[in-house]
Each structure stands twice: as C-alpha cells, then as structure tokens.
Amino acid sequence: MSQEHGRKRSGRRTARLLTGAALALATTVGAAGAAGAAAPNADRSAAGYLSASHAAPATVVSPAVATTSFTHTSTTAPYYTITCTLTASDPLRYYGGAYPGGGVEAIGSVQCNNLVNTIAVQVALVKNSSVVARSTVRYSYSTNLGGQTTDTPHGAGTYITAAVTGITFPDGYYWASPEVDSPSLYIAS
C-alpha cells in the first residue's frame, strides 16, 4: 500500500507528532491527505489504541492489518525509491525476566530497503480491549531498521500489539504511518 501526503516535517515536529495526544496517527495521516488508509478495526475509535483518547470497544475483534508499507521516490538526486514496512508482531508470552511468572511482550519493527534519516517507533500492548502498556518513542538514525518493545506482567486474556512509526527520508520527506495492529491472540494463564 503506497501513501504520500506531500508534506515535510522537521525532527522536532516528528517528536511532537509521536507524543501526547498527537499519537492518533491514523487520524493525523488521514487529515493530512493520505486517503485510502482503511481503519484496521472498525469497532474501535478512529484514533486507535495509541491515541490518548482511546475508547475500548464492546468486544475484541481481530484487525485486518498487521503490516503497512510505504514507498517514496527521492525528489533530489540520486532519484532512488525507498520502501519501508511497519510490522506489529503477535504478542509474545515469555517466562522469567522482570516479572514473577513471566510476562507478555509487544514488538513493533520497521524495515526499509535503503538508509533513511530517522525512524521513530512506538508500540502499545492491548489486553481485553484496554491498553496495559505503552512504550516511549524510540528513534533510530541513519539506518534502515527500527523497532520498539513494551511488556506487562502475564495474565490470561486476549492481546493485541499496536504500532506506529514516523520516517524521515534522505530528501527530508516525512511519512507518519497509520496504526498497525496484530491479530488478536488469546494467552492462557
């Protein structure tokens, strides 16, 4: 899926965009002109799990999208094309670690086919329609890979990983992804 909204943003605007109430990137991107990005879960608020205004649905529904890709062709020489893919991995049950009895981890990752200036990633772990853990924004510079994790103590329930990214390309072009959600996964006690 290729989406462009044709605006450039500085690194400071990227930080503001990915923090606070502006975490509703699906809404922000849609307002910026990236029409055609379907909401991954129509039963949830349009802002998504990573927004400050998240409203839980009555039931947990498996979303249709676990990855999103974006392709940008440089506007300056050399005119190469870069494709980046954001993936929200299935929630992972682990044993040991910081929590007695283990925990559940959410992983969001970005991979580009060429170097970009900045990749910013944030993830949330959703349990039974409520956000139980939200990461900070992790920035990676001059790279083609980026990612972030968050976790919570284990408890039986239905989990979803939600992830967003903001990418600054070498020519200064900035793209903010819509929220990407993993399929819902029931983890027993």
If one compares 172 and 49, the residue with the highest pLDDT of the two is 172
17 vs 123, residue with greater confidence = 123
Residues 62-102 pLDDT 10s: 444 589 999 999 998 888 899 999 999 999 999 888 888 89
pLDDT of residue 83: 97
Closest by CA to 108, choosing from 123, 126, 127, is 123
Bigger pLDDT: 106 vs 54: 106
Distance CA 173, CA 4 (A): 10
Residue ranges with strand state E in the chain = 67-73, 81-88, 92-94, 103-127, 130-134, 138-153, 157-168, 174-176, 180-181, 185-187
pLDDT at 50: 65
- Give pLDDT, residue 103: 93
State the pLDDT at residue 24.
Answer: 37
Side chain identity at 176, as an amino acid letter? A
